[in-house]
Every structure is written in structure tokens, then in C-alpha cells.
Amino acid sequence: MTRPPAAGARPPMAVVTGAARGLGLHTAHELCLRGYRTLCVVRDPAAAPALRAVLGTLAHPVVADVRDAAVGRDVAEIVGGAAVDLLVHNAGVAHPPSVLGELRADDVLDSFVTHCLGPLRLTQALLPALRRARHATVVHVSSRRGSFARAARDDGPGARHYAYRIGKASQNMLSLSLRQELAGADIRVVAVHPGSLRTAMGTRDAADDPATAAADLVRLVLTDPRRRLPPFVERAGDPHPW
Ligand SMILES: NC(=O)c1ccc[n+]([C@@H]2O[C@H](COP(=O)([O-])OP(=O)(O)OC[C@H]3O[C@@H](n4cnc5c(N)ncnc54)[C@H](OP(=O)(O)O)[C@@H]3O)[C@@H](O)[C@H]2O)c1
């Protein structure tokens, strides 16, 4: 496990999107506990003061919407010349499932922008900061619903999750492409299915505690930043099918 930095040393830095609640909030909490200066991207300005009160002085709220084209510039400005050791693309949205006749095409676009284009822009803008770190990691909090293998087996109500499935499948392809390009730059990229979480987005029968999921996720990526991980994993590190 990465130790908290020694006195006087530069604290490692993390960026977590969608940190106002759910898995993102717990992930930011875990990172602050481990001594990470954590930029918490939240879209509601009212969430920012409470976040600092809950997470402490290592947490730095950044008010930004990941769908905004300026999100990368805004976060990169705050990072300045520092290194980013860990970037967690966690912000996510699940539009209501619907049949084709009622599907809103704008929901599909919104899901694509939230889960794929936003993370792409943010990673692009933070690339110099990721390069400055030793062994940086980029995590895409993905979903089993973005898996073609899983979707092909699910002929039940899952088939109605057009927007979410398409958004998460796009995010998976982004993750794989970044992984292949950035491997030579010592930047590890991984997509993670975090489990079925008891959060606002979770299903009624969700089994997993988001605090436990965040602790597992952080352990997975911080235990050994040089460890090669499969490209798409469950949060304990087991490979997830594409
Ligand atoms: N819950 C599950 O069972 C499950 C399963 C698989 C994968 N996941 C993935 O896990 C991640 C976290 O989900 P969760 O369960 O913690 O859901 P959640 O409790 O609904 O939290 C989602 C977070 O994302 C933020 N967000 C959404 N759109 C955003 C945007 N455009 N810009 C900035 N922030 C935005 C929300 O901010 P606001 O507070 O402003 O709305 C909220 O903080 C998501 O990527 C989700 O797809 C969840």
C-alpha cells in the first residue's frame, strides 16, 4: 500500500470526478486518508464547502461539469505544474431505461458525452501532469453494462438501457485505446466495474456498499502502481469480459 508522504515531501495528487456523493465521494475519502491531495470535481457549487468539511484539508473541490468542453482546461489550470498520480473518471449518469419507440436520442448523446467525451477531454488536458508523475494511473469507472459479452447474454430488461450501455461501451473503448497509446509513457489505464452499488444510481436489489467498493478500488490501484492490471477488471482485480 502506498504510504502517506513523509513530512515535507510533495503529497501525491489525485483527481476524482463525480465526487459529491456515491462511489466518487467514498473514493475521494479513501484517497485523502492515504495522504493524496485530491481534486474533487463536482458540478454543484453548493456541494463544495460540505465536501471539504467531510474530507478535510487534502480535498480540493473543483466545480465543473464533465460534459463541458472547458472541463479539462479548468482542472488543468488548478493542477498547474504539479504531477497527477491518479485520475479517476467516476462521474456517471443512468438515464431511465426505455423501449425504442420512447427512447430519447438526447439521452444517448448525454450518456456518451458524460462517460466518454468528458473523460477523453479531461485526460487530454491532464496528459502533461500525468506524464510528470512516476507510474500514473487512469481509472475509468465503467460498468458491466458496457460489456458486449455481458450484454449479449442479457436478453432481459437490460436491453432497454440504450443510453447507459452505449455510454459505458464507448468509455470502455476509450479506456482500451488510451491504455494502448499510453503504455509506453508509463501511464497505466484500466476500466473497472465497481459492483452493484447501493447508491442513488444503483438498482433496488444492489448488494454492495459503496464505501467498501471505494476501499477495494483504491487498494487495487494503489497497492503497486507498477503492477500490470488486466484492461477491464472487477474491483478486486479479476478480469471482466469485454
Ligand atoms: N451504482 C451502481 O450499481 C454502479 C454499477 C456499475 C457502475 N457504476 C458507475 O459508478 C460511477 C459512480 O456511480 P454511483 O453509483 O456512485 O452513482 P451516484 O451516486 O448517482 O453518483 C454519480 C455522481 O456522478 C456525478 N455526475 C453525474 N454527471 C456529472 C457531470 N456531468 N459532471 C460532473 N459530475 C457528474 C453526480 O453529481 P451530482 O451530485 O451533481 O448529480 C454524482 O456525484 C458511475 O460512473 C456509474 O456509472 C455504478
Residue 143 in contact with ligand 1 by CB distance below 6 A: yes
Span from the CA of 200 to the centroid of ligand 1 (angstroms): 8
Q: State the Cα–Cα distance between residues 123 and 86, nearest whole angstrom.
A: 11
- Which among 26, 115, 164, 197 is the best mutation to test ligand 1's pocket, defined by most ligand atoms within 8 Å of the CB? 197
| Residue 227 CA neighbour count, 13 Å, CB half | 12
Q: Report how far ligand 1's centroid is from the alpha carbon of 89 (Å).
A: 10
**Joined grid coordinates for residue 201:** 444510481
Question: What is the CA(135)–ligand 1 centre distance, in A?
Answer: 26
Burial, 231: exposed, middle or buried (Cβ in 10 Å; 0-12, 13-18, 19+)? middle
Could you tell me the three cell numbers for 208?
454492495
* Joined grid coordinates for residue 154: 442479457
CB of residue 200 inside a 6 A radius of ligand 1: yes
The pLDDT value given to residue 156: 76
Instruction: Give the ligand 1 atom nearest the CA of 210.
Output: 16
Question: Which atom of ligand 1 is the closest one to the Cα of 66?
Answer: 32
Q: How much distance in Å is there from the Cα of 206 to the middle of ligand 1?
A: 15
Nearest CA to ligand 1 atom 46: 92
What domains can you pick out in the chain, each with its CATH number?
Answer: 13-234 (3.40.50.720)
User: Which 8-state DSSP code applies to residue 12?
Assistant: P
* Series of mean pLDDT values for 10-residue runs along the chain (242 residues): 59 97 97 96 92 89 96 96 98 94 96 98 98 96 96 81 97 98 95 96 92 98 88 96 96
How many residues are recorded in the chain? 242
Quote the pLDDT of residue 190: 97
DSSP symbols for 114-174: IIIIHHHHHHHHHHHHHHHSSSEEEEEE--GGG-HHHHHH--SGGGG-HHHHHHHHHHHHH
Task: Tell me the C-alpha distance between 222 and 24, whole Å.
Answer: 16
